[in-house]
């Protein structure tokens, strides 16, 4: 049986209220109008135009080639398919290199239909960008842990925050992006206990992807959630919800139900 979902359109303030109420948030990527309609009608709370489109739509080995124009285009067509879900657009590689560049990109995304922008990292200039956008009333979602745009620095896609010093820095970074004005934060490939601690110490919601079940919500890439073969290695946190669901809409509902009832992610889809 599907869990009852809210019928009002999601707003940025409603995200914080969901955390206070203990209501798990369901986030999913989408890149076109038809899948956006399915996600919206199936109870997804937040739709992300992820720069993951570089991998699953464009066929690149990383997200680095994705441009502002790419995100703007996909934002525009996804926005036409949404009535209730909150739409978040990724800031692609180096579009947030300066506050002014970030503002220009964010304006394009909001004018295309987004209601929030997401940027990776918590370095000094990233905190400056978050503050700059926040002061100009542009909602920001931060992204910490494994940040795919930093893959060249990391030397690959690796779990972040396993050593004590790295865990302490990640917690400090999470508090810093909240203080700078972020209103949502994605934690990717972070040990479950660390993600739980971060979630408990922040007032803004945390969205996990490979970060255990104690985050305030979960996100998956649409193609991964459907078990589609994109030619890339599937990480541990991916689960195929299309199996046994009978349809794409059924898979999205099954994913949402599993997030809300706490059965996903389980230990097999989390990192210690």
Compute the distance between CA of residue 128 and CA of residue 180 in angstroms, rounded to an integer: 8
Contacts of 35 (CB under 8 A, 6+ apart): 81, 222, 248
Compute the distance between CA of residue 30 and CA of residue 79 in angstroms, rounded to an integer: 10
Tell me whether residue 5 is in a domain: no
pLDDT (0 to 100) of residue 3: 40
Range of the domain at 132: 12-269
Tell me whether residue 233 is in a domain: yes
pLDDT (0 to 100) of residue 231: 86
DSSP 247: S
**pLDDT less than 50: residues of the chain:** 1-5
pLDDT (0 to 100) of residue 151: 67
Tell me whether residue 4 is in a domain: no
Count of beta carbons in the 10 Å neighbourhood of residue 119: 25
Q: Is 267 assigned a catalytic role?
A: no
Tell me whether residue 3 is in a domain: no
pLDDT (0 to 100) of residue 230: 85
Number of domains in the chain: 1
DSSP 6: -
CB–CB of 36/82 below 8 Å? yes
Compute the distance between CA of residue 134 and CA of residue 38 in angstroms, rounded to an integer: 31
Tell me whether residue 1 is in a domain: no
Tell me whether residue 2 is in a domain: no
Nearest to 19 by CA among 179, 184, 144: 184
pLDDT (0 to 100) of residue 5: 47
What CATH number is attached to the domain comprising 261? 3.20.20.60
pLDDT (0 to 100) of residue 157: 67
pLDDT (0 to 100) of residue 154: 59
Tell me whether residue 197 is in a domain: yes
Q: Which of 188, 196, 201, 243 is catalytic?
A: 188
């Amino acid at each position: 049986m599907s869990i009852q979902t809210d019928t009002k359109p999601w707003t940025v303030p409603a995200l914080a209220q969901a955390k206070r109420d203990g209501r798990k948030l369901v986030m999913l990527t989408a890149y076109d109008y038809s899948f956006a309609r399915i996600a919206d009608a199936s109870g997804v709370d937040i739709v992300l135009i992820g720069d993951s489109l570089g991998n699953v739509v464009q066929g690149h080995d990383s997200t680095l080639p994705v441009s502002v124009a790419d995100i703007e285009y996909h934002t525009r067509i996804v926005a036409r398919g949404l009535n209730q879900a909150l739409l978040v657009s990724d800031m692609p590689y180096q579009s947030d290199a300066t506050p002014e560049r970030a503002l220009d990109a964010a304006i394009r995304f909001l004018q295309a239909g987004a209601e929030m922008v997401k940027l990776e990292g918590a370095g000094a200039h990233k905190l400056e960008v978050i503050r700059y956008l926040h002061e100009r009333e542009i909602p920001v979602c931060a992204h910490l842990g494994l940040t795919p745009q930093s893959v060249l620095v990391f030397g690959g896609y690796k779990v972040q925050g396993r050593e004590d010093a790295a865990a302490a820095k990640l917690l400090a970074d999470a508090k810093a992006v909240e203080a700078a004005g972020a209103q949502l934060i994605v934690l990717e490939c972070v040990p479950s206990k660390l993600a739980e601690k971060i979630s408990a110490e922040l007032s803004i919601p945390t969205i996990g992807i490979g970060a255990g079940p104690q985050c305030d919500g979960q996100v998956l890439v649409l193609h991964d959630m459907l078990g589609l073969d994109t030619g890339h290695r599937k990480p541990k946190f991916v689960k195929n919800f299309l199996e046994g669901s009978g349809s794409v809409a059924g898979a999205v509902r099954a994913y949402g139900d599993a997030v809300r009832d706490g059965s996903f992610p389980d230990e097999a889809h989390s990192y210690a």
